[in-house]
Structure 1
Amino acid sequence: MSTNSPGVIIGLTGGIASGKSTVSRHFESLGVTVIDADHIARKVVEPGQPALADIVEVFGSEVLNEDGTLNRTALGAHIFQNPDLRARLGAITHPRIAQEMAHQSAAAFERGEPWVIYDAALIVENGLHEAFDSLIVVACSPETQLERLMARDGLSEDEARARIDSQMPLSEKLKVADFVIDNDRSLDHTRRQVDNLFSTLDARIRHSGSARPTDD
């Protein structure tokens, strides 16, 4: 993606409860602009946005709360086991999410920032990793992932395993990773890795305009 923009865009992803948000926040603390896909996805379906009107046209007014906001639970019930409806929803939201991502990254580059991070859960699933300059994957062991998910969301072990099993295995994401952050130990250990990776990426990008490890 960097070949078509004035700066470098790096993908950041990981499995559920792997610690992606922890890594994302530390990159932000180091001064990197992090573009949050979840935040954008919520923004584009706010009341008054064209995407929300399109969703209502397809799924009906029952996907709205009384205050006119999107009822995500009701919408989820429509698309949970219906690939066609999921595809229709994606056709409504994905182009607008991509447009907002491009807007935010362009604004960062206009401010003189040489690189930004795009934080999203489904980068590999959607094939977006091939468009970015490089990909960071946050990883932890399956046991740690399970424990964190149960604690975070108050789930039983069976419920947590079902959520993990519904996603692409972390091992598949690691196969296409350019950089891996091991988030299986202490918070300090994770932060040190992020600090080191930040220094490596910032120096490499400022020197060569690319984050690819093979550039060295």
Structure 2
Amino acid sequence: MFIVGLTGGIATGKSTVAQVFVEHGIPVIDADVMARKVVEPGRKAWHKIKAVFGSEVFHPDGTLNREALGEVIFENVEKRRQLNEITHPEIHKEMFWAAVKCLFQGHQFIVLDLPLLFEAGTMIDYLHKIIVVTCEEDLQLQRLMERGQMSEARAKRRIAAQMPLEDKCRRAHFVVDNSGSERDTREEVVRIINTLRASRAHWRLRLLLILGATAGVAGAALAAWWWWFAAGSAHRGGRSAGRPGVLEPLRR
């Protein structure tokens, strides 16, 4: 099994792309879902957030007030860095074990939905391919304002807090332009799925699992860890250091 990273800008339509993968039987592990899980009351990240940001970013019942915290971190780069340092390691742990479960289920590949893939940088080396969802700048702003019921100034600040879309596209293997109709986007994603399904990269990585399984439970667990790092090695070997170009772009 190999791993595909899915990312893009806020309000570019990444959820639509993820849904197409799900409809084709491909597991999608969503970092946002994991992010909500790791900040549940009593969890490690929950305690750290309370210590760093105080009780004002929590509801009276102890649950995290995501809107209040969002206002704090989008106005302060240092606070955003602190939050990422608290939550990202916990999110990645949850995603790792979800990915291992998919590995043992025999999937050819899975998709990790990572909104801050490039901003965080920690997961890039473990991805065999990267998909970036983009759209026209004015359309992105309009979608965000309508979706979040926010002012233009506030929406622009949210967009500016992320890496520019053109920079993300330059580092992608596939680029999905979601500026047109949903039908066009879906057709584009299906073409990407067909390309990924034609890959034979999963056989070399699956061999590690088979060899580990013959050694029993401990061997299978070790093989899962080796698979995680081998997936990253396969990705690193496919690019020149410092030159993250677009290897297999699919653009309209």
Question: TM-score normalised to the size of structure 1?
Answer: 0.85
> Partners of 2:192 and 2:17 in 1: how far apart?
11
> Partners of 1:23 and 1:97 in 2: how far apart?
21
- Percent identical pairs in the alignment equals 46
> Partners of 2:112 and 2:5 in 1: how far apart?
5
SS in 2 for 1:204: coil
**Aligned twin of 1:131:** 126
Q: Does 1:63 align with 2:37?
A: no
* Distance change (3 Å), C-alpha of 1:18 and 1:50: same
Q: Does 1:195 align with 2:190?
A: yes
**Aligned twin of 2:83:** 89
> Partners of 2:156 and 2:107 in 1: how far apart?
40
Contact in 2 for aligned 1:115/1:205 (Cα 8 Å): no
**Aligned twin of 2:212:** none
Q: Does 1:167 align with 2:150?
A: no
> Partners of 1:16 and 1:81 in 2: how far apart?
16
> Partners of 1:77 and 1:145 in 2: how far apart?
20
Contact in 1 for aligned 2:4/2:111 (Cα 8 Å): yes
**Letter of the 1:72 counterpart:** R
> Partners of 2:201 and 2:113 in 1: how far apart?
21
> Partners of 1:29 and 1:22 in 2: how far apart?
11
> Partners of 2:57 and 2:150 in 1: how far apart?
26
**Aligned twin of 2:7:** 13
- Aligned pair partner of 1:183 in 178, 181, 185: 178
Question: TM-score normalised to the size of structure 2?
Answer: 0.74
**Aligned twin of 1:142:** 137
- Aligned pair partner of 1:121 in 115, 126, 140: 115
SS in 2 for 1:185: coil
Contact in 2 for aligned 1:23/1:190 (Cα 8 Å): yes
- Aligned pair partner of 1:155 in 138, 150, 154: 150
Higher alpha-carbon deviation: 72-81 or 43-52? 72-81
Once the two structures are superposed, residues 91-120 of structure 1 have per-residue CA deviations (whole angstroms, 9 ceiling, x without a partner) of: 321111110010000000110012111112
> Partners of 1:74 and 1:144 in 2: how far apart?
26
**Letter of the 1:203 counterpart:** A
Shift of 1:133: 1.0
Q: Does 1:24 align with 2:18?
A: yes
Contact in 1 for aligned 2:119/2:162 (Cα 8 Å): no
* Distance change (3 Å), C-alpha of 1:156 and 1:78: closer
Contact in 2 for aligned 1:41/1:93 (Cα 8 Å): yes
* Distance change (3 Å), C-alpha of 1:200 and 1:77: closer
> Partners of 2:107 and 2:99 in 1: how far apart?
9
**Aligned twin of 2:97:** 103
What is the aligned residue count?
208
Contact in 2 for aligned 1:10/1:133 (Cα 8 Å): yes
* Distance change (3 Å), C-alpha of 1:83 and 1:142: closer
Q: Does 1:33 align with 2:27?
A: yes
Unaligned runs of 5+ in 1: 1-6
SS in 1 for 2:112: strand
**Aligned twin of 2:210:** none
**Aligned twin of 1:3:** none
